[in-house]
């Protein structure tokens, strides 16, 4: 039997093992596992781009939600319309 030393695995193999352990521990579905692997491979491929950022890091859910809310400039508007689809004149529509 071959001895497994500390340098037996490459960095990407060690990361793969760690990810596999997390997937098994938390019963992550296979499809989600595939997407996580693709995401991590993209991150590895884009390492040069990340190196140019001042403090690159993956954010947690609440931080991502705040960031997305700050970037979103959508606002809801409601209009009264009659059955034939034309707008009913209101004080707002005269502006």
Boundaries of domain holding 39: 9-52
In the chain, the number of structural domains is 1
Cα separations (Å) of 71 from 58, 62, 64? 18, 14, 11
Report yes or no on 77 lying in a domain: no
pTM of the model: 0.62
Q: Which residue has the tokens 């409601």?
A: 78
Task: Say which residues have a Cβ less than 8 Å from residue 12's Cβ, sequence separation at least 6.
Answer: 44
Count, residues in the chain: 95
Report yes or no on 14 lying in a domain: yes
- Report pLDDT digits (tens) over 15-74: 999 999 999 999 999 999 999 999 999 999 999 999 999 999 999 999 999 999 888 877
- Alpha carbon 57 to chain centroid, angstroms: 12
């Amino acid at each position: 039997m071959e001895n497994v030393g500390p340098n037996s695995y490459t960095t990407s193999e060690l990361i793969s093992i760690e990810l596999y352990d997390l997937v098994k521990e938390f019963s992550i579905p296979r499809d989600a596992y595939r997407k996580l692997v693709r995401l991590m491979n993209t991150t590895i491929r884009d390492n040069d781009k990340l190196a140019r950022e001042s403090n690159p890091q993956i954010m947690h859910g609440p931080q991502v939600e705040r960031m997305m809310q700050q970037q979103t400039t959508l606002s809801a508007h409601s209009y009264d319309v009659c059955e034939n689809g034309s707008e009913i004149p209101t004080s707002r529509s005269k502006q």
